[in-house]
Chains A and B, each alone.
Chain A
Amino acid sequence: QVQLVESGGGVVQPGRSLRLYCAASGFTFSSYGIHWVRQAPGKGLEWVALISYDGSNKYYADSVKGRFTISRDNSKNTLYLQMNSLRAEDTAVYYCAKEGLYDSSALDYWGQGTLVTVSS
């Protein structure tokens, strides 16, 4: 069965960096684009970034452009999110989610999320 497991979250001071991981299993990882989506406490969903199946195309939300970098290692079935210059407003649960088979814009499987707290 498809599984996406995020890790790497924690408490970090403003201005510091953190790297998130998303370990995938149960599907051909190298065939699908993968997204990061975040949800601040008590708030709605906010799209963060997308990387294409082969890593050749990357898209970012304006709120993280220039600070966050999405990448993947298809040999390890792992997705990454390098987060630099973190701000208090980056505090959120971060989910990785897989593109759908029949509709690439749909996110058909999600991980359980990892919490990032940016605080001094």
Chain B
Amino acid sequence: QSVLTQPPSASGTPGQRVTISCSGSTSNIGSNTVNWYQQLPGTAPKLLIYSTNQRPSGVPDRFSGSKSGTSASLAISGLQSEDEADYYCAAWDDSLNGRKVFGGGTKLTVL
């Protein structure tokens, strides 16, 4: 059972906009920044969003992040076939002497 809750799957057709939700609590998302990671099959995770809504250099502006209260979202616009991957949200959690927590991951399928 992950501390952050994500839907296990999401899907969309090329060109569509999809959103992936991430629900947490006051000790993590409610009081800290959110990160998002993309993991393509057989590869290491890649940072997609940091500081809740910032993109590292090289990440297309089709990807955007937001937060409201204890929930966060990742939006992908203009969906492309290469976006098919697993997506994870994460945040620092201030409980239990501090720990990083991840969501369970969302498998995005491009139909």
Contact = CB atoms under 8 A, between A and B. Distances in A.
A60 B99 CA distance: 7
Max count, chain A CB within 10 A of own CB: residue among B47, B97, B98: B47
Interface residues of A, number: 25
Contacts of B39: 45
Max count, chain B CB within 10 A of own CB: residue among A37, A106, A110: A106
Interface in B78-111: 86, 88, 90-92, 96-105
Nearest to A100: B50
B48 to A, nearest CB: 10
Given A107-B35, A107-B37, A47 B99 contact: yes
B88 A102 contact: no
B35 A106 contact: yes
A36 to B, nearest CB: 10
Contact of B44 (A60, A106, A108, A113): A113
Contacts, number: 73
B64 to A, nearest CB: 16
A110 B44 contact: yes
A113 to B, nearest CB: 6
A111 B2 CA distance: 23
A61 B98 CA distance: 9
Nearest to B49: A106
Interface string B29-51: 00011010101000011110011
A17 interface: no
Interface of B: 2, 32-33, 35, 37, 39, 44-47, 50-51, 54, 56, 86, 88, 90-92, 96-105
